[in-house]
Amino acid sequence: MLKLLLWLVLLVLCWPLALLALLLWPLLWLISLPFRIVGIVFDGAFAFLRAVVMLPARLIGGGRPQA
């Protein structure tokens, strides 16, 4: 009987939080989307800069051995 009462209390307390999370998740996803795009752009820019800086060493023959 106690387990059933605890489960009912949990149901009453948690369903509004679950509903709120369900409604707010798309909004949070839309807010975070520009930050993800900026992260992808910075990752690409830093990869490009690393490739440019490492190009002379790769041309001379340093770097990873060929498999």
Q: What is the pLDDT of residue 35?
A: 96
Q: What is the pLDDT of residue 66?
A: 63
3-state secondary structure of 32: helix
Evaluate if residue 11 carries a pLDDT over 70: yes
Residue 66 has φ and ψ, to the nearest 5°, of -75, 140
Q: What is the pLDDT of residue 67?
A: 59
Evaluate if residue 54 carries a pLDDT over 80: yes
Q: What is the pLDDT of residue 34?
A: 95
Q: What is the pLDDT of residue 46?
A: 97
* Cβ atoms of 57 and 63 closer than 8 Å: yes
